[in-house]
Amino acid sequence: MEISAKMVGELRERTCAALMDCKRALVECDGDGEAAVIYLKKRGIASAEKKAGREATEGVVESYIHTGSRIGVLLQLNCETDFVAKNDQFRALAKDICLQIAAADPAYLAQENVPAEVLAREREVAESQCAGKPPNAVAAIVEGKLAKFFSASCLLRQPFIKNPDQSVEDLIREHVAKIGENIRVVRFSRFQIGG
14-23, 67-76, 97-106, 183-192: least confidently modelled range: 14-23
User: Is residue 40 a contact partner of residue 22, using CB atoms and an 8 Å limit?
Assistant: yes
User: Is residue 29 a contact partner of residue 39, using CB atoms and an 8 Å limit?
Assistant: yes
Our count of domains for the chain comes to 3
pLDDT at 46: 46
Q: Do residues 73 and 96 share a domain?
A: yes
Max mean pLDDT range (94-108, 165-179, 180-194): 94-108
Q: Which domain holds residue 91?
A: 58-109+154-192
User: What's 195's DSSP letter?
Assistant: -
Choice between 182 and 155, residue whose per-residue pLDDT is larger = 155
Distance CA 97, CA 185 (A): 9
User: Is residue 31 a contact partner of residue 39, using CB atoms and an 8 Å limit?
Assistant: no
Is residue 52 scored above 70 in pLDDT?
Answer: no
Distance CA 156, CA 67 (A): 25
CATH number at residue 19: 1.10.8.10
Distance CA 145, CA 125 (A): 9
> Which among 62, 163, 156, 146 has a CA at the least distance from the CA of 108?
156
Q: Do residues 70 and 36 share a domain?
A: no
pLDDT at 72: 97
User: What's 31's DSSP letter?
Assistant: T
pLDDT digits (tens, 9 = 90+) for 91-147: 999 999 999 999 999 999 999 999 999 999 999 998 888 878 887 888 888 889 999
pLDDT at 18: 65
Query: Coil, helix or strand for 59?
Result: strand
> Which among 88, 95, 68, 81 has a CA at the least distance from the CA of 188?
95
pLDDT at 53: 58
Q: Phi and psi at residue 29, in whole multiples of 5°?
A: -105, 20
Q: Do residues 25 and 91 share a domain?
A: no
User: Is residue 146 a contact partner of residue 126, using CB atoms and an 8 Å limit?
Assistant: yes
Q: Do residues 38 and 130 share a domain?
A: no
